[in-house]
Chains A and B, each alone.
Chain A
Amino acid sequence: MSSEQQIIESRIKSEYKWGFTTDIDMETIPKGLNEDIVRLISAKKNEPEWMLEWRLKAFRHWLTMTEPRWPNVDIAPIDYQDAYYYAAPKQTEAPKSLDEVDPKLLETFEKLGISLEEQKRLTGVAVDAVMDSVSVATTFKDELAKHGIIFCSFSEAVQDHPELIKKYMGTVVPYTDNFFAALNSAVFTDGSFCYIPKGVRCPMELSTYFRINAANTGQFERTLIVAEPGSYVSYLEGCTAPMRDENQLHAAVVELIADRDAEIKYSTVQNWYPGDENGKGGIYNFVTKRGICLDDNAKISWTQVETGSAITWKYPSVILKGDNSVGEFYSVALTNNYQQADTGTKMIHVGKNTKSTIISKGISAGKSHNSYRGLVKIHKGAHNARNFSQCDSLLIGDRCGAHTFPYLEIEDKTAKVEHEATTSKIGEDQIFYCNQRGIGTEDAIGIIVNGYCKEVFKELPMEFAVEAQKLLAISLEGSVG
Chain B
Amino acid sequence: MSKLNYDEIRDWYVSNFNTFENNLNGSLDVPFHKVRKSAIAKFEELGFPARRHEEWKYTNITPLLKEKLPLAGKSDRFSAADLAAYTFEGLEKNLLVFVNGQYSKELSNYKNTVDGVIIENLASALKNHSDLIADSLSQYANYDDEAFVALNTAYANDGLFIYVPDNAEVEAPLHLLHLSDSNDGAFFSNTRHLIVAGKNSRLKVVESHHGIGDAICFNNFVSEVVVMDNARVDHVKLQDEHSAAYHIYNLQAHQEKESVYSLVNIDIGGKLTRNNLNVALKAEHCEGHLIGFYMGSKKQHIDNHTAIDHAMPNCYSNEIYKGILGGKASGVFNGKIFVREDAQKTNAYQDNKALLLSDDAKVNTKPQLEIFADDVKCSHGATVGQLDEEAIFYLRSRGIPKEKAQSMMQYAFASDVFEYIPIESVREKIDHTIFERFKTL
A residues sitting closer than 8 Å to B (CB atoms) are 70, 380, 393, 395-425
Chain B positions within 8 Å of A405 at CB level: 366, 368
B56 to chain A, nearest CB (A): 14
Contact of B383 among A401, A411, A417, A425 (CB under 8 A): A417
A399 contact set on B, CB distance < 8 A = 341
- List chain B residues, Cβ under 8 A from A397: 374
CB distance from A428 to the nearest CB of B (A): 9
Give the complex CA separation of A296 and B376 in angstroms: 44
A398 and B374 contact, Cβ closer than 8 Å, known pairs A403-B369, A407-B364, A421-B379: yes
17 contacts between A and B (CB under 8 A): A402-B371, A403-B369, A404-B370, A405-B366, A406-B366, A406-B367, A408-B366, A408-B382, A408-B384, A409-B364, A410-B363, A410-B384, A415-B356, A416-B384, A417-B382, A421-B381, A422-B378
Contact of A417 among B344, B379, B385 (CB under 8 A): B385
Contact A395 B359 (CB under 8 A): no
Q: Which residue of B lies closest to A394 (CB)?
A: B374
Q: Which residue of B lies closest to A395 (CB)?
A: B374
B371, A393: Cβ atoms under 8 Å? yes
Whether A404 and B373, one on each chain, are in contact in the complex, defined by CB atoms closer than 8 angstroms, is no
In the complex, whether B226 has a CB less than 8 A from a CB of chain A is: no
Instruction: Kindly count the residue-residue contacts between A and B in the assembled complex, taking CB atoms under 8 Å apart.
Output: 115
Nearest first, the 10 A-B pairs at minimum CB distance are A395-B374, A413-B356, A408-B365, A419-B382, A411-B362, A423-B378, A417-B384, A422-B379, A404-B369, A425-B374
State which of B360, B375, B385 has its C-beta within 8 Å of the C-beta of A416.
B385
- Across the interface, which residues of A come within 8 angstroms of B341, CB to CB? 398-399
Contact of A412 with B364 at beta-carbon distance under 8 Å, contacts A402-B369, A418-B381, A425-B374 already known: no
Q: Does B97 contact A (CB under 8 A)?
A: no
Which residues on the A side are within 8 Å of B362 (C-beta)? 380, 409-411
- Apart from A404-B368, A406-B368, A415-B384, what 20 extra A-B contacts exist at CB < 8 Å? A70-B54, A380-B360, A396-B374, A399-B341, A403-B371, A404-B380, A406-B365, A406-B366, A407-B365, A407-B366, A409-B363, A410-B365, A412-B359, A413-B359, A415-B385, A417-B382, A417-B384, A419-B382, A421-B367, A421-B381
* A378 nearest CB neighbor, chain B only: B384
Which residues from chain A contact B368 at a C-beta distance below 8 Å? 403-406
Instruction: Give A70's nearest chain B residue, CB to CB.
Output: B54
CB–CB B376/A421 < 8 A = no
A398:B375 contact, CB within 8 angstroms: yes
Among B363, B374, B377, B384, max chain A CB count under 10 A is at B374
B386 part of interface (Cβ distance < 8 Å): yes
In the complex, which residue of chain A has the Cβ closest to the Cβ of B338? A403
The distance in angstroms between the C-alpha atoms of A413 and B373, with both chains bound, is: 38
CB of B411 closer than 8 Å to a CB of A: no
Name the interface residues of B203-232: CB closer than 8 Å to any CB of A: none
User: In the assembly, what is the distance between CA of A278 and CA of B368, in Å?
Assistant: 29
* Contact among B356, B369, B371, B372 for A410, CB-based, below 8 A: B356
Which B329-379 residues have C-beta < 8 A from chain A?
341, 344, 354, 356-379
| A contact residues around B386 at 8 Å (CB) | 413-416
* Chain B residues closer than 8 Å to A400, beta-carbon distance: 372, 374
List of B residues within 8 angstroms of A396 by Cβ: 374
Q: Are A421 and B369 in contact (CB under 8 A)?
A: yes
- CB of A105, distance to nearest CB on chain B (Å): 44
Chain B CB count within 10 A is highest, among A393, A398, A412, A413, for: A413
